[in-house]
Amino acid sequence: MRDPITQSAPDYKNACLVLFAVNLTWILIAIWAVWGLVIAGLVAAGINHVMSRVHERAVARARIDRSAPRAKVRS
């Protein structure tokens, strides 16, 4: 039977960010070991560029969402 009191889901954002950093670190170290520091630096610069573009799009989308008229919510 369903429990009428539902609890909120745990926030895994910090765990996700930490594991992303750990995985990115070992991948860059592996690239450095196999192909060298220059290639690892280029990959890191490429990842930084992609992450910056994603951030810019998210900020622009948030601006658009804030400026859009809100629909009235029925009570």
Condensed to tens digits (0 to 9), the pLDDT of residues 29-67 reads 999 999 999 999 999 999 999 999 999 999 999 888 877
Q: For the whole prediction, is pTM greater than 0.95?
A: no
Q: Which positions ≥6 away from 65 have C-beta within 8 Å? A: none
Assess if residue 52 is contained within a domain.
Answer: yes
Q: What confidence category does residue 5 fall into, taking pLDDT thresholds of 50, 70 and 90?
A: confident
Assess if residue 16 is contained within a domain.
Answer: no
Domain that holds residue 48: 36-66
CB 41 within 8 A of CB 31: no
CA distance 41 to 32: 8
Angle between helices 37-67 and 13-35 (to 10 degrees): 150
Assess if residue 43 is contained within a domain.
Answer: yes
* Domain count along the chain: 1
Assess if residue 53 is contained within a domain.
Answer: yes
